[in-house]
């Protein structure tokens, strides 16, 4: 089985995250997608709590048996991507582990801790809107482990969604279940940031 590990802040999780997972599954890049939200130790400004992002992700994927959410990174320390991938390789020792990331991640991959291990041990699926992407020179030795997966959807930004919510408006890029959770828990409101 091919297991896709989809890491991110998911602040909030939105329809594009779901579209990416569905697209990778339907095109047989992977057989299962595990969403792994980063912890609050990541230090990203404006990140709502681990538990809220975990609950929103569960609502996002609830109707998809080949998708799940992991709280593995919610430890009392910063967990790096290579550690997360090692963890899932131990959990799914008979399966292939794929790391799912965006083109922006690929461009800064050399700054990641143990990036060589990630690129030499795992398949890395890079989500792009254009198949004619140039792989950075320093990644050429790992090119056989880099898979470009084109998506034709428009880019959706969690930042723009948060800004829309701050204005008190409903954002069409959220599923009803995620929006309901945000509203009920008063997330992304000025007084709660």
Inside any domain, residue 107: yes
Alpha-carbon span 124 to 98, nearest angstrom: 6
**pLDDT number for residue 192:** 57
Q: How far is CA 157 from CA 48, 104, 162, in A?
A: 16, 13, 9
74 lies in which domain range? 2-155
Inside any domain, residue 140: yes
Inside any domain, residue 193: no
**pLDDT number for residue 7:** 95
Count structural domains, the chain: 1
Inside any domain, residue 145: yes
Inside any domain, residue 121: yes
Phi, psi angle pair for 94, to nearest 5°: -90, 0
Inside any domain, residue 143: yes
Are 9 and 38 in contact by the 8 Å Cβ rule? The answer is: yes
Averaged pLDDT, groups of 10, the chain, 193 residues long: 97 95 97 96 85 98 98 94 98 98 86 95 90 82 93 79 90 96 92 55
**pLDDT number for residue 132:** 73
Other Cβ atoms less than 10 A from the Cβ of 169: the count is 9
**pLDDT number for residue 176:** 97
**pLDDT number for residue 149:** 93
Alpha-carbon span 72 to 93, nearest angstrom: 17
Threshold 0.75, pTM exceeds:
yes
């Amino acid at each position: 089985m091919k297991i896709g590990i989809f890491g991110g802040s998911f602040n909030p999780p939105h329809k594009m995250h779901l579209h990416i997972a569905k697209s990778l599954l339907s095109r047989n890049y992977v057989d299962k997608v595990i969403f792994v939200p980063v912890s609050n130790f990541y230090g990203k400004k404006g990140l709502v709590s681990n538990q809220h992002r975990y609950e929103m992700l569960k609502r996002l994927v609830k109707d998809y048996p080949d998708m799940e959410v992991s709280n593995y990174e919610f430890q009392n320390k910063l967990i790096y991507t290579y550690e997360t991938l090692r963890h899932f390789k131990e959990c799914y020792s008979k399966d292939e582990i794929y790391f799912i990331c965006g083109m922006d991640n690929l461009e800064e991959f050399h700054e990641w801790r143990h990036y060589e291990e990630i690129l030499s041990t795992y398949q890395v699926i890079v989500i792009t809107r254009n198949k004619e992407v140039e792989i950075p020179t320093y990644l050429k030795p790992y090119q056989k482990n880099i898979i470009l997966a084109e998506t034709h959807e428009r880019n959706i930004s969690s930042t723009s969604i948060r800004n829309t919510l701050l204005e008190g408006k409903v954002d069409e890029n959220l599923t009803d279940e995620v929006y309901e959770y945000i509203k009920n828990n008063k997330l992304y409101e000025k007084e709660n940031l």
